[in-house]
Amino acid sequence: MIRVHLIASRGNVQENIESLRRITKLILKEKHEIARDWVETAYSNYVNKQETSADWSKIYQLNLETIAKADIVIAETTSNSFGVGYQVAVAVQQKKPTLLLRNESASADAFATGVVDPWVKSLSYNEDNLDKIIKDFLDENDIATKDMRFNFFIDRKIYNYLRWSAFKTGKTKAEILRELVAKEIEDKDY
């Protein structure tokens, strides 16, 4: 299961609501998770003219936390938005695979056309290809069936503990570390 952070301009949510709903629905249909479900609340606030009362400091902090927890980012970039650009920059800095979507009816000089980075894919969409673009991006980044690998430097004390624990339990050092991290995640309700 992939945790997806969906980004779009809150100021233009009314113009993009159908696309945002489609994207959200497809993510859930593919058995993935929306990292923070904000679209319907933002749309409701717009319809009820409550957007001016938004707590922008809280929204800013929530977005940063959500990007950190997300596996991938999908950004609707048809409308130029400082907030969307900032969140995309943060996601790219954190090396999150990021899909920049731009409605093909938008001008060619939209933000999405200017980002060149190995972590970013920028595509134009229309009614006919939006679902395929989203599904393909989700499939490309679904690593649920693969183990991830990274380098981990430890001191002698930790190494000795892991070696001792592996001997006592019959598990590998990697299994012991995975179990410890999994327990920490469970305890913290991440």
- Mean pLDDT, rounded, for 4-31: 92
pLDDT digits (tens, 9 = 90+) for 87-129: 999 999 999 999 999 998 876 666 656 778 889 999 999 999 9
Mean pLDDT of all residues belonging to the chain:
88
Domain boundaries, the chain: 3-140, 156-188
CA distance 183 to 190: 11
pLDDT of residue 47: 86
Q: pLDDT tens digits for 132-153?
A: 999 999 999 987 655 667 788 8
pTM score: 0.75
Classify residue 113 as exposed, middle or buried by CB count within 10 Å of its CB (0-12, 13-18, 19+): middle
Question: Topology of domain 3-140, per CATH?
Answer: Rossmann fold (3.40.50)
CA distances from 151 to 12, 113, 179 (A): 42, 34, 17
